[in-house]
Chain A
Amino acid sequence: MKAAVIRFPGSNCDQDCYHVLKNGFGLDTEYVWHKEGSVEQFDMIVLPGGFSYGDYLRCGAIARYSPVMRSVAAEAERGKLVLGICNGFQILCEARLLPGALIRNRSLHFICEHVHTRLENMETAFSHAEVTKSGGKLLTARTGLLLHMPIAHGEGNYTADAETLREINRNKQVVLRYADDHGAITGGANPNGSAENIAGITNRAGNVFGLMPHPERACDPLLGSEDGKLIFQSVIESAKKAAK
């Protein structure tokens, strides 16, 4: 069971993801430079956050054509689990591995803060697990569960046409929505103007997941939240099961 963390020029959350996978979850984890031709030998693939290629042209637009992405797309097609965080989410949308696009925040501000997201679908490969937080408290996936994680982006405003939104709702592809601290999906709780408060979605097949919040920055009590563990625990369990 091996995990890959893809590094693009400008990735800057690669070490955080690596640290969580390797030291937090004890997983055999390797960095993969974007010029590598293949990720076939890995059981799960993480596209970390950052500013690949300086966000030139559009966020993720150039990284999407990196050599490694051809292999990521092929592995995704075969059902391998792919997790894209922040810029990784943007790259997956540009690569058309996820529907829709992420545009400039409604406020035009770069937003860096902790937000609540509501778990909308606890049956995906990325959102079903139970984890133990330090102190022994359990965090168990259920629909409506609030996850407290940081966001840090200038372009996290999720956009898709009406038909696509209907389709991803119908197929239960929306995994996370921005919510207030009572779990209500309100305009006030929407930090960036995302359509229907969408913070994270899967593809139709359910093996590719992109989210704007940073679960890797919420896996340690020192960082103020451990809720991100639920995402990593879920995808690791799913990948282990698939690798058997």
Chain B
Amino acid sequence: MKAKVTVMPKKSVLDPQGVAVRDAMRHHGLPDVRAVRIGKVMEIELEHGDEARLHEICRDLLSNPVIEDYELQVER
């Protein structure tokens, strides 16, 4: 089983990296870029898949719910 976890900063949390990249993109000739947000993607390979357990780990380790949201995609 393969799982893909996408972790993004919450909408309400400032993403300083995203702001810097947005500004760089504007300087690179794309002045209409409105916003950039930077997160991370984790590709996970497992022998057996316990989706409920994976969700727990996404919440407790792979993301920090105070500042981030996650999305779990599972491919069997």
SS class, residues of chain A in contact with chain B: loop
Is the beta-carbon distance between B17 and A159 smaller than 8 angstroms? no
Contact with A along B55-76 (1 / 0, CB 8 A): 0000001101011000000000
Is the beta-carbon distance between A193 and B61 smaller than 8 angstroms? no
Cα-based distance from A107 to B62 in the complex (angstroms): 25
Asked whether any CB of chain B lies closer than 8 Å to the CB of A104, the reply is yes
Residues of B within 8 A of A101 (CB): 64, 66-67
Cα-based distance from A157 to B19 in the complex (angstroms): 15
One of A28-36, A57-65, A123-131, A201-209 contacting the partner:
A57-65
Q: Given A57-B62, A101-B64, A159–B13 Cβ distance below 8 Å? A: yes
Interface size class of B (residues with CB under 8 A): 10 to 19
Is the beta-carbon distance between A108 and B13 smaller than 8 angstroms? no
Asked whether any CB of chain B lies closer than 8 Å to the CB of A38, the reply is no
Q: Which residue of chain B has its CB nearest to the CB of A93?
A: B66
The one of A61, A93, A103 in contact with B61, judged by C-beta atoms closer than 8 angstroms, is A61
Residues of B within 8 A of A103 (CB): 9, 13-14, 16, 67
> What would 16 more interface pairs be, CB under 8 Å, given A61-B61, A193-B16?
A57-B62, A65-B61, A101-B67, A103-B13, A103-B16, A103-B67, A106-B14, A106-B16, A108-B16, A108-B17, A157-B14, A157-B16, A159-B13, A159-B14, A161-B66, A193-B14
B→A interface (CB under 8 Å): 9, 12-14, 16-17, 20, 61-62, 64, 66-67
What are 17 A-B contacts defined by CB distance under 8 Å?
A57-B62, A101-B66, A101-B67, A103-B9, A103-B13, A103-B16, A103-B67, A104-B17, A105-B16, A106-B14, A106-B16, A107-B16, A108-B17, A159-B14, A159-B66, A160-B66, A161-B66
In order of increasing CB-CB distance, the 10 nearest A-B pairs are: A101-B66, A101-B67, A104-B16, A106-B16, A108-B16, A108-B20, A101-B64, A58-B64, A159-B13, A103-B67
